[in-house]
Structure formats: structure tokens, C-alpha cells
Structure 1
Amino acid sequence: MKLTIVSTSDIHAYLYPTDFTQKEMNLPLGLLKVSSFLKNISADEKLYIDNGDFIQGSPLASFVKDKVKTPRILSEFLNELHPVARVLGNHEFNYGVDYLKEAVEASTAPYLAANVLNTDGEPYFGTPYLVKDVGQFKVGIIGLTTQYIPHWENPENIKDFRFISAVEALRHWLPIVQASADFVVVSYHGGFEADPKTEKMLEKPTGENEGYQLLEQFEAIDVLFTGHQHGLYVGQHGKTFYSQPGHKGEYVAVVTLQIDEPTRTITDATIDLHHLTDVTEDLNLKAKVRPLEEQVEKWLDQPIGTVKTDMSITDPNKARLETHPYVTFINAVQSWATGCDISATALFNQKAPGFKGDITMRDIVINYIYTNTLAVLSVSGKDLVEALEQCAAFFTLSDGQITINPNYYIPKPQYYNYDMFSGIDYTFDISKPEGQRVVGLRYKGTPIDLKAPYEIVLNQYRAVGGGNFAMFGPEKIIREYGTDMTELIAQYIKEHPEVEVPAVHNFKVVY
């Protein structure tokens, strides 16, 4: 018998083959093309698992949250692909537990979450695993999620949840599943802390990504699907086949097992990542999604106002080396919304084009890609210095030139973990050792007092310590603002219909 097991991960509500930068795109990504690909797979039996981060992360997802106000429609679209199981991603929690529960209730497939517990220590959604009858065999599927969610998420959104190590949870549940299944699949919304092929550590072992430990410690896993890092991994470790299929539905992970029926053993197997090049859209699903997509496109093309200052970003790396008008503008919006004069923000990726001329909602959401809200913290001068020193580690010297530290793009791009500050003056001297690079730090012309309190506005992710900014945290938050940053940017432009950004030169990076 030939059994095919398929996984997607980190689709982030990309349904149509578009990245929303313009209308009527036909990129090799999105749920419509994933659906078409699945329908064309030839197999005696086929199981499809979505590995999480489905209801958040695109302009369409933001529209559904703000205008439709329920994720049910997103769950219903994924139901059309007939998944046997779904897994919770970390971004499933971004809009609060009530929103998440609606997504779960609308799903025809169970959400598997063996290490996401309630306050009594039981699986919160009641379903840590399932055993699926496939012909004369039984396939056990265990769902796991990165335990690191409390380091990023608004505490209010997860107050009734406990997150434990994927390794700890699997140690408990794997023997139970083995006792009733012929084959075991683990779908883990987390990544690899070490390269499965070279065994080289990819990051500090914080517990955020435990995929390599799962491979090393649990030989009984037949197939391991991973995600979260948006990386591309495929291979075999011992007898375990593993994969990670990127994001936005650009790739689909496909494991095909040849099973000898009398002995109930795997005699041969292949594992591939299939890129959706040359795959057409599922026209039946397209017809169902089209009304929502048209609403989203109309919303994106709303005229908001005009910026008179050219905030175009032609070189994102250069824009991080000295004050850029786009960054100045975003910090100005944060300060305007909160009344806090020290602000920090980031260029979240390498694709933000900045602003120029007439602005629509599309311009806003393709620049500010995350659903952040704001929080104001009271921190010490020492905290502020430590945060700046951590940001200074974003850079390194290579052949006498300032370049980005590889730790910020391998194994996963983390450009969002370099913040640029307004309201203070400072310089990073990259010729100095890490931890000693901040020079000339002043607030209102006066050197920072390490013991004095300072108020600073940050996005919620950073405010609770996201990105391993241990000097911040929920205990230092003194007030919060629930309006999404994309809405705040739009509101600011509407109230200042011809935006001009003053030339500010408050920081620079030198060597």
C-alpha cells in the first residue's frame, strides 16, 4: 500500500496567489494552489495536516479580524482541503482566546495540542493526538506547539494557558500513541535548533525550537513535520523522515510511505518539498474565496492621505545604519498615539518599500506587516542601555565593512529584532566588543542616568520581552493601547493629510 502524508505550515491566511503588493497576481503560493496540488496527488491513501499559523499574518487576516470580526470563514476555507488534523501555531494566539476558540469550533479537523495545557495541566483543547484508520492500518498523529509563546504574546491572551516543552509532552504521549498505532506522525509548530544533517547548532537552545531534540530522542517517530522558522528542510534522520515547508503555502511537504501489509512495515519512502510553480488555482475554492478577496482588495485601495516627505526605502540595510525618515515617521506615530517621547521600532523585513506620495491602506500593510499593538513601559536607564547594546549586536564587521550579524538571518530571518530609537541620541561603534558599543547616549541633551526611570513605547511583542529582550517584560508595562498599528498609522495620516517628517539625525552606526 502507498500512504501519502502531506503537510503545510505557516500559511498565514494567504489564500489567493498574491502578496497584496498589487492586484491580480499569480505567484506560486497560497491556499488555492495548495488545494489544487492536493487534489492531484495519486495515492492509495492520503492524509493532510496543517501545521499552524493559519489565521494571522497577512492583510487578508487583518481584514478578517477588523472587519469580519470572526475567523470562522478562514477555518471554513481550510476545511475545503479536508485536513485530518490541525496544529496550533504561536500566531493563533495573537487575537485572543475567544477569537482562537471560534477558529477551533469552525474547524472540521481537530486541533492537536499535546503541550498546550489548561490551568489543571490537561490539554487545553482536549485533543493531544488522534489515531486515524487508514486501510487496515492505524496512523497516530501527535500535535505540538513551540513552548516559547509566553515570551512573545500579550499576557492577557494566554492567561489560562500553560505551555510545556515539546520534548516533555512527547515523552508522555508517544508511548500511548504507539500502543494503538502502527505508524506515528508528529506535527510540531516549532523549528530546528540544530541542523538535522550537520548537527551544527543554529541558535541558542532557548526551548523555542526543539525539532532536533525530537529527532535525537524519539526514534519511534516515523514522520516529523516542523514549521515556525519559515525554513526549508527535508531529509531523514535515523528512520524518521522530517520536513519544514517554508511559509505562505509556497511549498508542500509530501511523504510517501510504501507499506508491506503483512508485516506492517515501511519498505520504502520518499520525502519531498514541492514548490507550487506551474500549479493552477482550485477554481471551486476560488469561487468561494472570491467575495472576501474582492472586499480585501477594495479595502487595501482606500486612499488615506499624502506624505510630502519621501520615505522610500531603497536599501533596507543602509536604512538601519542611520536615521531614516520612514523609521522616524513610525516612531512619531507611536509617540503621537501614546504621549511617550522615547519610542523604538524596526524594519521588519527586507521588502518594506517605505512611503512616497499618495498613500493607501495597501501601502500601510505592506510596510507594517505585523498586527502589533503598543505598550508603554517604565524602564531604568540601565535597561535602556542594555536594550541598545542588544540592538548593536545586530551588526558585525566583515572585511572592514559593517554587515548584518548572521545570527539575525540564519536559520530564520529576524530583522524585526533590531530596533531603532527616537527621543534619544546615540551611536553604535561596531569596532568595540559586543556589550560596549553604545556611545554618546543622551536624553534631551543629558547623559542617561542608569538608575533613573524612563518611559518608552514599544510594540507589544517587544514590550513583553519578545526577541529575548530580557530587560523588558510585562511587569514593566504601565499602560497599553489596543488599536492595531496599521490602524494607528492610517488614523495619523488621515488627521495629518499632508505628512511631513522633519530631518532627524539622532543615531548612527560607525566603526
Structure 2
Amino acid sequence: MKLVFLHSSDTHGFLMPTDYQVSGDYTAPIGLSRVSSVVKSERKKYGADKVVVTDAGDCLQGSPLASYAHSTGDMTDLDTFTQAYNKINYDARCLGNHDFNFGQDYLAYYVDNNKASIINDNIFDAETDVPAFGKEFQIIEKSGVKIGFLGITTQYIPHWESEDHIKGLAFKSAYDQIKKYAKILRPQVDILAVIYHGGFESDPQTGEATEPHRGENEGYKILTEIPEVDVFLTGHQHRRLNDVVNNTAIVQPGYRGEAVAKVEVELDDQTKKIVSMSTSLIDTKDYEPDPEIVDLVSDLDKRTQTWLYQPIATLDEPAPIENAMKGRLEGAPFINLLQQMQLWFTNADVSATAVMSEKAKGFDKKVTLRDVILNYPYANQLCRVKLTGKELKEIIEHSVSFLKEDETGKITFLDRWIKPKPQLYHFDVFYPVKYEADISKPVGERITELTLNGEEIDDSKTYHLAVNNYRAMGGGFYPEYSMDKIEFTLDKDYVQMFTEYLTSGEVKVDQTKNYRFY
């Protein structure tokens, strides 16, 4: 007997086959509408009673369509958004960290109107210690086989999310909770599946650490220390991953609906025990968008496209970034403009930012909402952080630790920040400090020049740094950031800030380059 698991994750509100880079282009190899066609095809192939469909969250935020649906303040638009996911007929789901970006009321509506069971084993009401959303487990039956689901979300959300979005919630370790519930649920079922909005802190095959083990991703520990788990359906890292390790099938389907992960489980007809398992990834680009979802979303999508055309400002001169990689290494007018804006809102001494999109092109003279969202797609907020000069230098040293000199002498990034998942949104650059780094020197000793307004940074002096809340609350494994150093957080997102700043009448794009790596 064969059962098939199909798994999506990190679709980030990309419902239609478009990335919204070019208006009218609906040929992108992504989107929930393509995911739906894959699921329908597989159900037809095997029979609905032999196919299990799951999702690991990060659905509410990420695409321009998701931003627009939230911006209208009309729950009818959120309902359309939610119904699109309901069209997939998922058997079970969990939440992702970005599903908290628009607050608990927005999330609660989505959860309450979701037809699939939301499984939640580690986000609890802080007072009552019961799951704040969904249920702790789900048992379903397919072709006489009992399948148990546990669902968990990365416990690291409090390090990124604004306090009002997670007020009253307690986040527990994914590993601790799965260890607890697996022992309870496994004896009751033939297959135990874990849906995890989280990934692997170490290579699943070799055990080699791929990031600091701070609790954001606990997949390797779950994989190697909780043998009760048969099928491990992961997300969060945007990786394309499929394997069978330690008698556990592990998958992760990339992001934006680029793929559907597939696990085929062979069971003994009589005993219902697992005989073998195999995994694969189905690329959605090979499937036409599902007309049901396209029809459902078309009006919302059209209004999104109109919304994106809205001009918000006209600059005296453009603020381009030639390409993301070159901008990180050499600087660019757009990066400077973003830093200037952060300083304008916070009155800080120094600003820090990363290039947030690999497709960032910066701004022409005419700036639209589309330009802002495509260059800065995250729902971050801006903070001001209080640091000593010594702490600021250590933060900058951490950033330049991302860099290496290749065999040709060219400065580039260490492989671990590019593979298995590109993470260059963690690489911050700083402004208006002038700094240089000698990449041939040991990590932690690379900064050879660091001045602000012509004066060297003083280790004992206090400085104020403008940086987004994701970084200020610990995202990216930087040293020295902590909650107690945050002086304030602005109640504005980056679309609001760009709109306000670019229409302030005070904008002159700084074209100079203030840092150098050699």
C-alpha cells in the first residue's frame, strides 16, 4: 500500500503566477495557483484517499498582493486571501513566523476561517498555558491508515516581532514540544508526521553545523534525537530539500510556491507498518495555474496592480542599485537613501541596513509603491538602539566576517551565507560612518578605519544606531544587540516611512561611497 504526502511552505502570499516585477506578466514559475494544480494532479493520479496535503506557514506576508490585502483594512480581502488557501483542501497546517507580522487580530481571522486544522504545539497563551491557536495534534485516516500530525513554529519569533504582535504569547522549544508529544501520539497512529515552520541548524547528512545553535532552527536535533517521527515536513529556510535520514523522510519545498515536496510511503497491507520511503520535489513551473484560484483572486490581484502603480514621490535624481551583490560590496545610491531615511526618522548617529531583495533596482526619479515593496519586501519596523563605540565596532566586525578573498583576490561572501540557503539579507552595511576592512586579517580584527564626521569611533562613547527591529531583536546572530538597548520602535512600516520621507521636501540622494573592503 502506498500513501503520498504533498507539502507546501513559505508561499508568502504569492497566489498568482507573478512576482509583480513587471505589470501584466503572469508567467512566473511560482504561486499557490500552480501549487493547487500539482495537488489536483497528484490526487487524480493516486486517488484522494491516498494523498495527504500539508503546509508549514508563512502565507500572510511577503507578496505585494498580501501587502495590499492587509492595507485595505477590509476583512473581505483577507477572506478572499484565506479562501484561496482553502481551495487546496489541506489536511493539516502550522503557522509561520511572518504570519504574525500584521498582528494577532489579523492572524486570528485567518486561523478561524481556515478549513484545515492548524496544529500548534509550541505557541501558548502565557497565562493559561494552552495553545493560543489551533490544536495540539490531529489524527486523520487515509485508506485505513492512521496518520498523526504535530505542528510547530520556530520559537525565535520574539527576537523579530514587535511586542504588540505577540503580547500574551509564550513560545516554547520545537524540540522540547515534539519530544513530549511524539511519545504520546506515536502509539496511537501508524505514521507520525511533524509539520515544522523551521529548518535545520546542521547538515542532515553530516551533522556539520550550518548556523549557530540558538534555537531558531531545531530540525537536526529533532531528526536525530526523536526517532518516533516518520515524516518531517519543514519550511522557514526557503531551502529545496528532500532526503531520507535516520528512517525519517525530510522535505522542504523552497518558497513562493516554486515546488511541492513529495513523500511516498510504502506500508505493509496487513500490519500498516512502514516498509520504505522516498522523497522528491515537484517543480510547479511545469503546471498551469489552477483556474479556480485565478478566478477567485483576480479582482484582488487587479486592485493590487492598480495600487502598485500609485506614485508616492518624485526625486530630483535617481537612486539606483546596479545589482544586489555589487551594491553590498561597493555601496549604491539606493542603499545610502535608505540609510538617510532611517537617520531622518530616528535622529540617530549611525544607520545600518542590508540589501533586502536580490532583485532590488533602487528608484528612478518617479517612485511608486511597486518600487518600494520590491526593494524592501519585509514588514519590518525601525528602531533606535543605544550602543557604546566598542559595541558598534563589534557589530561592524561581525558584518565583515561574512567576507572572504577568493583565489583570484576578489572579495566575495563565505559559502555558508549563500548555501544551502542564501542569507545575505543578514549582511549589514553602515552609514554615514566611513570604514574600511582588510579581509586578509583574522575575523574580529578586520576594521582598519572607522570614523564618524571625521573623528574615530570612541570605544567608551555612547552612539545611537538606526536599524530595523529584526536586527535589533537578534536576527542574524549579531553580537551586542539586545532588547534592553532598544530606545524606541517606530509604529510605521517601510512603505509608510518611504512615502513620508520622500515627500518631505528635504531629500538629496547621497551618491558617495563610505566603505571599502580590500
Q: TM-score range by the shorter chain?
A: over 0.9
8 Å Cα contact 2:320/2:332 also seen in 1: no
Equivalent residue for 1:140, pick from 127, 131, 148: 148
Deviation at 1:313, TM superposition (A): 2.2
**Alignment match, 2:464:** 455
Whether contact under 8 Å (2:323, 2:360) holds in the other structure is no
Cα deviation per residue 1:155-214 (whole Å; 9 max; x = unaligned)?
332232222222211111012111221111111111112222333332222222121222
**For the Cα contact (< 8 Å) 2:343–2:351, is it kept in 1?**
yes
Partner of 2:82: 75
Determine what percentage of the aligned residue pairs are the same residue. Answer: 36
Distance 2:301 2:73 in 1: 12
Residue 63 of structure 1 pairs with residue 81 of structure 2: no
Return the alpha-carbon distance in structure 2 between the equivalents of residues 373 and 268 of structure 1. Answer: 47
The residue matched to 1:271 in structure 2 has which SS? strand
- Give the Cα separation in 2 of the matches to 1:72 and 1:508: 49
Q: How far 1:304 sits from its partner (Å)?
A: 2.6
Instruction: Return the alpha-carbon distance in structure 2 between the equivalents of residues 270 and 320 of structure 1.
Output: 40
Give secondary structure in 1 for the equivalent of 2:304: helix
Taking the aligned partners of 1:496 and 1:73, their CA distance within structure 2 comes to 39
- Give matches, 1:290-329, under 5 Å: 290-329=298-337
Secondary structure class of the residue paired with 1:299: helix
Residue pairs, 1:340-379, within 5 angstroms: 340-379=348-387
- What RMSD in Å do the two structures reach over aligned CA positions? 1.9
Following superposition, the deviation at residue 479 of structure 1 comes to 1.8
Q: Which moves more between the two structures, 105-114 or 440-449?
A: 440-449
| TM-score, length-scaled by structure 2 | 0.94
Deviation larger for 227-236 or 253-262? 253-262
Conservation of the 8 A alpha-carbon contact between 1:202 and 1:410:
no
1:273 aligns with 2:278: no
Q: Higher mean Cα deviation, 278-287 or 154-163? A: 154-163
1:465 is aligned, of 458, 474, 478, to: 474
In the alignment, what sits opposite 2:227?
219
Taking the aligned partners of 1:465 and 1:262, their CA distance within structure 2 comes to 51
Q: Is the 8 A contact 2:398 2:479 kept in 1?
A: no
1:257 paired residue number? 265
Using the alignment, how far apart are the partners of 2:246 and 2:254 within structure 1?
23
Structure 2 distance, partners of 1:182, 1:503, is: 63
Residues 98/425 of structure 1: CA separation in 2 closer, same or farther (3 Å cut): same
Quick one: which of 190, 210, 221 aligns to 2:218? 210
Residues 207-216 or 301-310, more deviating: 301-310
In the alignment, structure 2 segments of 5+ residues that lack a partner are none
CA shift for structure 1 position 268: 4.2
Given the alignment of the two structures, is residue 160 of structure 1 paired with residue 171 of structure 2, yes or no? no
For 1:179, what is the secondary structure of its paired residue? Answer: helix
CA contact (8 A) 2:349 2:463 kept: no
Contact 2:81–2:297 (Cα < 8 Å) also in 1: no
- CA contact under 8 A between 1:146 and 1:208: conserved in structure 2? yes
Post-superposition offset of 1:150: 2.1
- Residue of structure 1 equivalent to 2:132: 124
Cα distance between partner residues in 1 of 2:144 and 2:172: 34
* Whole-angstrom distance in 2 between the partners of 1:69 and 1:371: 19
CA contact (8 A) 2:57 2:197 kept: yes
Shift in CA distance, 18/148, structure 1 to aligned 2, threshold 3 Å: same
What secondary structure does 2:35 align onto? helix
TM-score (normalised: structure 1) = 0.95
CA distance in 2, matches of 1:287, 1:503: 46
Match of 1:401 in 2: 410
Counterpart of 1:423 in structure 2 is: 432
1:243 counterpart residue number: 251
Matched ranges for 1:428-447 at <5 A = 428-447=437-456
| Structure 2 counterpart of 1:504, from 502, 507, 512 | 512
Equivalence for 1:104 = 111
CA deviations on 1:247-279 (whole Å, 9 max, x unpaired) are 000000122223333211233443211001221
> In the TM superposition, what is the alpha-carbon distance from 1:466 to its structure 2 partner?
1.5
> How far 1:69 sits from its partner (Å)?
5.1
Q: How far did 1:117 drift?
A: 2.1
Letter in 2 for 1:21: Q
Q: Which amino acid aligns with 2:325?
A: N
Separation (CA, whole Å) in 2 of partners of 1:59 and 1:340: 30
User: What do residues 28-56 of structure 1 show as CA deviations (whole Å, max 9, x unaligned)?
Assistant: 21011111111111224222111111111
The runs of 5 or more residues in structure 1 that have no matched partner are none
Match of 2:39 in 1: 38
In the alignment, is residue 390 of structure 1 matched against residue 398 of structure 2? yes
Instruction: Give the whole-Å Cα distance in 2 for the aligned partners of 1:272 and 1:126.
Output: 29
Superposed CA offset, 1:132-170 (max 9, x none): 122322110110111222222223322322222222111
* 2:5 corresponding residue in structure 1: 5
Match for residue 195 of structure 1 among 203, 207, 212: 203
Cα pair 1:382 1:451 within 8 Å, conserved:
yes
Residue in 1 that maps onto 2:122: 115
Q: Contact between 1:154 and 1:464, CA under 8 Å: does it hold in 2? A: no
Provide the secondary structure at the position in 1 that maps to 2:88. Answer: coil
| C-alpha distance in 2 between matches for 1:221 and 1:421 | 44
